[in-house]
Chains A and B, each alone.
Chain A
C-alpha cells in the first residue's frame, strides 16, 4: 500500500510562532481523525497537507508529489475547509458545478456529478436556492458536497460536522466511514470526540505543534502502560467480587461507587484481570463490565499530561 499523504520531519512557523514541529507520519487508505486542542496545529497541518502552505522545514507529499506547488494532484484531492466562505450569489448547484468545471468536467458531467454530491449530503431540495440564504448546517453540507463531487481519492475535512443537527451529523459520519471503506484516505479534524470515535479508531493526536501519538486508539492505549486501565463492573455481589479480586498483584486500586454499587478497578494487566472476573462471574453475579478510559478524551488527557 502506497502512502498517499506523507509528512517527513515537517515544521511550519509563522514568524516567531512555531505552529508545527518536526511532524512525521504517513496516511494510506482509511479514515484518520486529527485531534488536538485549539492552537495545537491542526489547521496548519491540514493546510500543509492540502498544499495551501509550504513547510518551513522538511517535506510534505501528497500522492507522491510535493503538496505545495503541484496543482495536478487536486484531480484526486478534495478539501472542505473550516472557513464559512461560499459564492453567496450562486445557487448550491451552480456553486458545486462551477468548481467541478475547474476540475475539467464539461457542463453536463459537472451538473450530473454536482447533483449526485448534493444528494449525498441531503441538500437536493435546496440546490436551486442561493447559497447566501442557506442556514449554517446547509452551508457546511454544500461545502462538503464540493469537496466530494469529483470523487477524490484523498479528502481533507476540517471540522466537517460544525453547525449540523444530530441527524445530519450521523449521516455525514456514516458517509465518512463509507468513504474509508471504499479505500479513500480521509483526514478529519474535529473537536467532537465521541462522534469521531464512531467514525474511526485511527487517530493522529497533536498538541503544541507536535504529534503525540498516531495509530489505532486501542493500541495507543495499550502503549500507555504508565496509566492503569479503569474498569467498571456491575455485579449483584460487588463486595464479594471485590474480596476475590483484591489479591491480584497487578491491581492498582479498587473501590465501590456508592451511588450505583458498581465496582471500580484500576489495573495494569487487563488480560489477567478479565480472565479472573470471567471465572467469578457466575458466583458473584457479574452482569456487565466495560473499560471506561479507552476513549479519545482519556487517551488524549493522559498523553498531554505526560
Chain B
C-alpha cells in the first residue's frame, strides 16, 4: 500500500459537522453555566408568577403589554446579546482554553465542518435555553387574562423568530470576535454597551450601523421608548431588519470560518 492510498479524502462536510455537533452539544448544554443562564432567562417567568399571585392594585398594563416589555427590553435588547457573547465567543476559544481543540484538528475532517458543528451546537443550546423562557413568560402573563393567549399567539411566534435571528446574528459576530481575538470579552462588552447601547439612540443615521436597532424593529408590539431613546431611536421595516440581520450573521460567520481555517493553534501543556 502506498502512502497516497493511506491518506483518504476528508470526510464529507455535513456528516462530519453532525458528529462535531453531537460532541459539542454534550459539552455545551448540560453544564452549570447553561443552567445559570436558564435561571436568569427565566426570571420574567418567576416575576410573572409573582404578579399573578399578588397582582398589584390598578395594574397599569395588560399581561400582553407587559410581555411586550419583557421581550423588547429583557430579551432582545439586553439578555440575548449577552447570551450570544457568552456562548458565541466561546465557540472555538473554549476548545483552545481547554486544550481539546487538538482532538478535532487531528481528525480527517475539514475546519469548516468543525466550525459549523460547533455553531449548530451553539444555536441549539441557546434556543433550548431561550424558547421555553419566552413561551412560559407569555403563558404566565397572558393565560387567563381577558385577552387570553390566542390574541398574541401570532406575535409570540414572530417574537420567537426575532429571538432566534438575534441569537444567530450576535452569535456570528461574537464567534468572529472569539476566533480573531485572544480575549474577546472586553471588546464584546464594549460593543454591546457602548456601541449598541448608545449609538442606537443617536440621531440621524447612526442607528443604521447597530444591530439592536434592527433587532428591536422585529418586535411588532414593542413598548414606547423613554428618554433619549424616545427622541432618537429608529425603527426599520421587518423585511429590511430580517435581511440586514441575516446578512450580518452570514458574513460574520463566513469571516470567522475563513480566519479559523487559516489560523494555527499552538496548544501545549
Q: CB within 8 Å of B: which residues of A? A: 2, 4, 14, 43, 47, 50-54, 62-65, 68, 70-79, 81-87, 89-90, 98-99, 101-104, 146, 153
Q: Do B106 and A85 touch (CB < 8 A)? A: no
Docked CA distance A84–B98 (Å): 9
Residues of A within 8 A of B106 (CB): 50-52, 74, 77-79
CB pairs A–B below 8 angstroms (15 shown)? A51-B105, A52-B105, A62-B7, A73-B6, A81-B267, A81-B269, A85-B98, A85-B99, A86-B100, A89-B26, A98-B23, A101-B23, A102-B103, A102-B104, A153-B6
Pick the residue among B7, B19, B102 that contacts A83 (CB under 8 A): B102
B266 at the interface (CB under 8 A from A): yes
Cβ contacts under 8 Å, B265 to chain A: 52
CB <8 Å contact, A65 and B16:
no
Choose, from B107-115, B188-196, B220-228, B252-260, the stretch at the interface.
B107-115
Interface contact A47-B19, CB-CB below 8 Å: no
Contact A72 B8 (CB under 8 A): yes
A53 touches B7 (CB 8 A): no
- The residue from B4, B9, B107 contacting A102, defined by CB atoms under 8 A apart: B107
Contact string, B168-205, partner A, CB cutoff 8 A, digits 1/0? 00000000000000000000000000000000000000
SS of B interface (majority): loop
B-to-A contact residues, CB < 8 Å: 2-4, 6-11, 15-16, 19-20, 22-23, 26-27, 30, 98-100, 102-111, 264-269
Taking CB atoms, residues of chain A closer than 8 Å to B107 are: 71, 74, 99, 102-103
Top 8 A-B pairs, shortest CB-CB distance: A85-B99, A102-B107, A64-B3, A76-B6, A83-B99, A73-B7, A63-B3, A74-B108
- Most A Cβ at <10 Å: residue of B20, B103, B264: B103
Instruction: For residue A287, give the distance in angstroms from its CB to the closest CB of chain B.
Output: 47
Q: How far, in Å, is B95 (CB) from chain A's closest CB?
A: 9
Q: Is the CB of A87 within 8 A of B23?
A: yes
Residues of chain B contacted by A98 (CB below 8 angstroms): 19, 22-23
Which B residues touch A68, using CB under 8 A?
Answer: 264
Among candidates A70, A79, A90, A101, residue contacting B102 with C-beta atoms closer than 8 Å = A79
| Distance (whole angstroms) from the CB of A5 to the closest CB of chain B | 10
B7 interface neighbour in A54, A63, A78, A101, Cβ under 8 Å: A63
| CA gap between A86 and B6 in the complex, in Å | 27
Question: If A63-B6, A75-B6, A102-B20 touch, does A83 touch B108 (CB 8 Å cutoff)?
Answer: no
Q: Is the interface of A mostly helix, strand, loop or mixed?
A: loop
Beyond A53-B266, A85-B98, list 12 extra A-B contacts (CB 8 Å). A63-B7, A65-B7, A72-B9, A74-B106, A76-B7, A81-B267, A86-B100, A101-B19, A102-B20, A102-B23, A102-B104, A102-B107
Minimum Cβ distance to chain A for residue B90 (Å): 15
Q: Which residues of A contact B19 (CB under 8 A)?
A: 98, 101-102
Most buried by A among B4, B26, B100, B269: B269
CA distance A73 to B265 in the complex (A): 19
Q: Verify A71–B100 contact, CB threshold 8 A.
A: no
B27 and A72 contacting across the interface, CB-CB below 8 Å: no
Asked if A81 and B102 sit within 8 Å, CB to CB, the answer is yes
Chain A residues near B266 (CB, 8 Å)? 14, 47, 52-53
Q: How far is the CB of A43 from chain B (nearest CB, A)?
A: 6
Residues of chain B with a CB closer than 8 A to A85's CB: 98-100, 102
Residues of A within 8 A of B268 (CB): 43, 82-83
Nearest residue (CB) in B for A65 is B7
A70 to B15, CA, bound (A): 18
For residue A282, give the distance in angstroms from its CB to the closest CB of chain B. Answer: 54
